[in-house]
C-alpha cells in the first residue's frame, strides 16, 4: 500500500484532522496534505512518526517472491482467461510433487 494511503487511512481511523495529525507529529498541515495527495513522499522515518502520532505502528517484512504469485501473473499475461486456472493447477501440482510447493 502506498504511503499516501497509509497516512490518510491512519488519520481517518484515529479521527484526526490534518492539522491535528500535523501537530501531534510535529510537522505542518501542508506537509500532511502533500503526503496524502502524493505530491511528496515521506521517508520511512517520517512515515513511522506520522503513523505513531495517529496511534498506529508501521511494520515491514522482508520476504522472497512467492513463485505461485509470479506464475499466476505470467499466466494471466500470456494465456486466455479460460486457461489460466488450469495452468495454475498444473504448476501447483508440479511444485508440490518436487517438494517445493505448499500442500493444501
Q: Report d(CA 19, CA 83) in Å as an integer.
A: 52
CATH architecture of 3-53: Orthogonal Bundle (1.10)
CB 88, CB 76: distance < 8 Å = no
Model pTM?
0.61
CB 37, CB 77: distance < 8 Å = no
Within 13 Å, how many C-alpha atoms sit on residue 34's CB side?
10
Instruction: List the domain boundaries for the chain.
Output: 3-53, 67-97
- The runs of H, that is alpha helices, within the chain are 3-14, 18-24, 29-37, 44-53, 67-78, 81-97
Per-residue pLDDT of the chain (104 residues; tens, 9 = 90+): 789 999 999 999 999 999 999 999 999 999 999 999 999 999 999 999 999 999 999 998 876 766 667 667 777 788 888 888 887 788 778 777 765 544 44
CB 68, CB 91: distance < 8 Å = yes
Amino acid at each position: 500500500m502506498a504511503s499516501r494511503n497509509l497516512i490518510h487511512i491512519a488519520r481517518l481511523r484515529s479521527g484526526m484532522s490534518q492539522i491535528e495529525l500535523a501537530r501531534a507529529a510535529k510537522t505542518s498541515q501542508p506537509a500532511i496534505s502533500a503526503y496524502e495527495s502524493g505530491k511528496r513522499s515521506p521517508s520511512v522515518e517520517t512515515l513511522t512518526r506520522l503513523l505513531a502520532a495517529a496511534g498506529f505502528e508501521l511494520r515491514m517484512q522482508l520476504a522472497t517472491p512467492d513463485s505461485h504469485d509470479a506464475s499466476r501473473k505470467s499466466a494471466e499475461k500470456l494465456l486466455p482467461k479460460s486457461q489460466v486456472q488450469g495452468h495454475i493447477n498444473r504448476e501447483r501440482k508440479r511444485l508440490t510433487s518436487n517438494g517445493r510447493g505448499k500442500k493444501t
